[in-house]
Structures are given as structure tokens and as C-alpha cells.
Amino acid sequence: MKPLTFAVLRLLADGEFHSGEDLANMLGVSRASIWNALKEADAMGLTLYRIRGRGYRLAEPVQWLDKSRIISALGAHANRFKLELIDCIDSTNTLLMQKASGAVDGSVLAAELQTRGRGRRGRHWHANLGGALTFSLLWRIDQGVGFLTGLSLAVGVALLRALKSLGVSGAALKWPNDVVHHNCKLAGILIEVQGDVLGPSLAVIGIGMNLKLSERTKAVIGQQTTDLYSVTGLVPERNHALACILRHLAQVLDIFAVHGFSGLRKEWVEHHVYQNKNVRILLPENGTDEGIVTGVDTAGALLIKTSDGERRYNTGEISLRAGHVL
């Protein structure tokens, strides 16, 4: 995506019509360049009205990320984070992992738009410009990578706490680390780690939270998905929402640093949407098991009471067995 496209879209942030000529004058480029730049708006998942005689207007004005707003909303937690905002990147996780060796603890990379957002299990993570929060946080610890087991579930707890303080009720967790609302995905977590068995190590914690996805983006995702706007009828201010998540991450990571996932397990289980439900788990080699979810262990593995006794699962996809709710 061209830097000029972002510059033009910023001028359209007020949701008003702007003529091509005015936009061109403000940016010191030709009208043809404006027209060309805005051709990319469709690919960004935006709906742009182009009306002869009036100019251009965004159907849904974009709320841009703003460092000073995020810092002020972080309050006392501000010195814990080093923020970097970027207009367009393939994936914040990919870039932060590449930069990890020279990056300080608390580095946050947030993107207005990802062109190749990555999800778990090799999936894509789609979000249109302004429709979501997509960012990654680098967290360093002295312990080895083994200590990070269960971290993705702990991050789910932080997201639920943040959603609660943003006034969102009814959100829940789905093992291993989806945040859902009525079984539709609201947010996802992708954690990548680097380090030694004996330490030190680091985690890049990638978070995507849907705020108000465009219809086009929802159609592309093609799985049961939702956003905060669909759930509450409101879209939280993006900078405020990002700061709120970071504040809750800081608190949860402090607990994790001392107790590991054990310190958050009870809270996680209380919010597990399939706790005590009869589920089917699809295993990596395409096998399946069935049984009742009894909880998770201190490493974040799922515990299911099957016909062969209680089993623990480190990976897999779970779904509810219809008609078997306890």
C-alpha cells in the first residue's frame, strides 16, 4: 500500500466529502495521484464514495492510532511500554520476531493494516483498515521457554478483563485461546517464543481484536466471527481500547511472571465457554476424541473426561457436541 494512500485517507478521517483538487493541493500532488492512491481503498476493505462534483468520502471514517492518546490512556503503565505505530506491514508478529534481539521488553508494534496477518495453525488473520486492533507485544523473562507454557491462555484472561472494563459483557474464552461471544470469534492470540531451555527467553504476543469489521472483510473471513460493534452497538475509541488491553496485559503478565499459568487458571476456567460441556476434539492427525471438559491443567492443557478416563490435550480444535450439553 502506498504511503500517499494513507495520507489521503487521513484527510478523509472526518467523514466529509473532499474534492480531489483540495486533497491534491493539501498534499502537493496531482489529482491523478489522489485518484490512483484511492484505488487501494477497496483492497483495504474500505467503502469509498466517489461522487462527481463533490469528491471523495469514506462510508466509515477511520479512527487512526495516535501515540500520544495511547500514552495518556496508559497512565501509570506508560513507562512499561515502548510504542511503535506503523501504517502498513505484512504482520506485526513477523516484524517484531525479526527485531526481537534488539528490541526492549515492552516493545509494542501496532499496525493500522496488516497485509498478511497470521493466525494460529498457519491460518490468515484478516482485518480491514480501522476495523480492528492488530498489534504485538514483546515480553522478556529470565526463565527458559518452558516457563511460557500456558501464556496464551493467560493472555486470554487479560483480554477478557480488558473487554469487561470496556463495558463488553458476555465474552468468553474458548480453549486454547480464542475470545468468543456467543461462539463467534471476537479476538485471537498468536504467541511466538524465542530463547533457551535454561533462559533467558522472550515471547511475542500478537493480538487481533475485531472492533467493527467491514462486510467485505467478514465475507472473506468466512468463519463465525463477530466484532465489538455487533456485540455492543458501539465501537470503543481505538487508542483507548489498545491502552486498556495493554494495561490488563501488564497486570496479567506480572501474575504470570511469579506464578506461571497456575496463578490465572481458576479465572480462565470460570470463563471457559465449554467448561463441563460435552465436546469433540479434532486432533492434529485428524483423529477425534469426545468427552466432557473438566478444566485445564497448570500448563494450559485441556482436560477431557473420555470413556477411557481423563485425558489431557496440548493441541486440537474443540467443538460442542450438539444435544449433549450437561
Asked whether position 206 contacts ligand BTN by CB under 6 A, the answer is yes
Edge-first strand listing for the sheet containing 302-306 = 309-313, 302-306, 288-296, 278-282, 317-320
- Which three-class secondary structure state does DSSP give residue 48? strand
Member of 73, 189, 228, 253 binding ligand BTN (CB under 6 A): 189
Kindly tell me which residue out of 208, 263, 295, 300 binds ligand BTN, with binding defined by CB under 6 A. 208
Question: What's the CA gap between 108 and 81, in Å, rounded?
Answer: 7
Q: Which of residues 87-116 bind ligand BTN (CB under 6 A)?
A: 91-93, 114
Please identify, using beta-carbon distances, which residue of 20 and 208 lies nearer to ligand BTN: 208
Phi, psi of 19 (to 5 degrees): -75, 155
| Candidates 78-86, 146-154, 200-208, 305-313; binding stretch for ligand BTN (CB under 6 A) | 200-208
Q: Which residue of 20, 106, 176, 188 would you call a contact of ligand BTN, by CB under 6 A?
A: 188
Which one of the spans 201-209, 223-231, 242-250, 285-293 is the region binding ligand BTN (CB under 6 A)?
201-209
- The pairing of strands 302-306 and 55-58 is unpaired
Q: Which of left, alpha, beta for 45 (phi over 0: left; psi -120 to 50: alpha)?
A: left
Asked if 175 touches ligand BTN (CB under 6 A), the answer is no
Q: Is the dihedral of CA 284, 285, 288, 289 positive or negative?
A: negative
> For ligand BTN, which residue has the nearest CB?
188
- Does residue 190 interact with ligand BTN by CB under 6 A? yes
Q: Is 67 in the site for ligand BTN (CB under 6 A)?
A: no
Q: Considering the complex, what minimum distance in angstroms separates the CB of residue 324 from ligand BTN?
A: 25
Which C-beta is closer to ligand BTN: that of 12 or that of 213?
A: 213
HEC secondary structure over 180-199:
EECCEEEEEEEEEEEECCCC
Nearest to ligand BTN of 118, 238 (CB atom): 118
CB of 88 to ligand BTN, least distance (A): 13
Give the x-and-dash track for 117-156 against ligand BTN (CB under 6 A): xxxx--x-x--------xxx--------------------
- CB of residue 16 to ligand BTN, shortest distance in Å: 31
Please tell me the distance from the alpha carbon of residue 289 to that of residue 297, in angstroms, as a whole number: 18
Stretch that binds ligand BTN, among 202-210, 211-219, 282-290, 314-322 (CB under 6 A): 202-210
Cα angle: 280, vertex 282, 283; to 5 degrees: 130
Is residue 316 within the footprint of ligand BTN (CB under 6 A)?
A: no
Strands 309-313 and 302-306: antiparallel
Phi, psi dihedral angles at 48 (to 5 degrees):
-120, 125
**DSSP assignments along 111-149, one per residue:** EEEESS-B-GGG-B----TTSEEEEEEEEEESS-GGGGT
Q: Is 225 in the site for ligand BTN (CB under 6 A)?
A: no
- Residue numbers at the binding site for ligand BTN (CB under 6 A): 91-93, 114, 117-120, 123, 125, 134-136, 178, 188-190, 206-208
